[in-house]
Chain A
Amino acid sequence: MYIVIGGSAGSFQAVTALLASIPRNYPHTIFLCLHRLKNVRGGFVEALSLKSNIPICEPYDKDTAMPGVAYLAPANYHMYIDANNQFSLSTEEPINHSRPSIDVTFCSIANTYKENAIGILLSGANKDGALGLKAIKDAGGTVIVQSPDECQVKTMTSAAIKITEVDYIMLTNNIIDYLKNL
């Protein structure tokens, strides 16, 4: 399966918890699209790697995605996944004030992986990701939203729930169980 996780303000904790729970040699591929503060371009991979059992990397353009690795959208680039699991980066204008934009990565995952895609949207302060999550659902994938009650900032998850019949609304711990049993 191809798991894509999107998050913004207030999602760091949930993301680190998810990554910490994923076992070594995980058979699925993970994509992360997280907003970060402008001008903070480095150090993020290191911070996320601290507790993770699987390698985390920022892909280069045209790298091939492999199972058991988590790929983080690089700062200031949109991240697409073309056919053949190949990354394509782009510096198009920010979408929803964001580059990387979660919508861009989610839509691309929806289009490439269809029913094999799992989209997870976490805490965040803008609407980026809502349309992308809908695209994953419409393409036959599974979509999960972090329970807004648990989110530090609910804007993103609420926006997604409003426009999509999501499969699960879950606390971080339940998302962890879901991913472990996949």
Chain B
Amino acid sequence: MFESADILNFIKALRDYGRYDFSNYSEKSFTRRVEKIMMDYKLDIPQLISKIKTDRNFMEQVVRDITVNTTELFRDPQVWHAIKYRILPRLASKREINIWHAGCSTGLEVYSMIILLNEMGMLHRCHIYATDLNTDVLKTAQKGVYSYRSISEYLENFNKVLCENPYNFDEHLVVTYEKYFEFNKIKDIFKVKEEFLNIATFQKHDLVNDPNPFDVSYDIILCRNVLIYFNNTLQNKLFLDFWKYLDTYGSLVLGIHESIIGPTSAKYEKRGLIYNKKVF
């Protein structure tokens, strides 16, 4: 559809006019996003570039369009079981716990965490930070309002994580999602209850360029299904950044099909689905 020089010019325009750097994103999935943007706006690359140069709002919109924002409530229950039974018990005696959701999208992962912490009686001791490059998804996250239809698919995961214990099949708790959400099937609304809003701090942050967004060390960093859009070089930079930002023995949680490869892997100890910071 276009030449690779076109893509480079497009990336350069976003860097020069927006300070966004997509040069180390995964080549093929990034190209696919650009193709989609071209189709949606019915513009070719030179037209896209000239609009990016002259129209700041359009440039910001294109950046948001590049991002892929798929997310789910309690996505991949086995990861949440690892958080519940492997990470959180270790932090039980800590007075203050810092958790960062890097690339939080519309916040479903953040509310999953808030619900889990509340069920474990740990929520009041936690500071929850959540960031994303895309300001639209952050607005949704802050409001906590979703479509009922899109959420109902994942309620099974809610039950799996909160009610079942894979390490003890006899244990079975009853937690109903009405405790955390108000919903209206006809209006297709699924809303986080007031008391669970305003707990997390949501903020715009660019993993490529920005330093640690909050002046703390984290006990847990979740960065799931974000680094898959980055190439090895950029992934390695982030594994190093996260290592610096993690507290002693802090944990990094990646997506279920992600792993640390390359020079930074020696800085972490892999425990099942979780990477723990190694301290030398």
Contacts and interface: CB of A to CB of B under 8 A. Distances in A.
Nearest to A74: B257
B120 interface: no
Contacts of B269: none
B118 interface: no
Contact of B225 (A39, A60, A91): A91
A88 B227 CA distance: 10
Interface stretch (B26-34, B39-47, B178-186): B26-34
Contacts of B33: 92
Interface string A68-90: 00000010011011110010111
Contacts of A108: 28
Interface string B43-81: 000000000000000000000000010100000000000
A92 B28 contact: no
Interface string B4-30: 000000000000000000000011110
A81 B70 contact: no
Interface residues of A, number: 25
Give the interface residue-count category, chain B.
20 to 34
A59 B33 CA distance: 22
B51 to A, nearest CB: 23
12 contacts: A58-B257, A60-B257, A60-B258, A61-B257, A74-B257, A80-B26, A80-B29, A80-B32, A83-B27, A86-B232, A91-B70, A112-B28
Given A62-B235, A86-B232, 9 more contacts: A60-B258, A61-B228, A61-B259, A62-B232, A81-B28, A82-B27, A89-B258, A92-B32, A92-B70
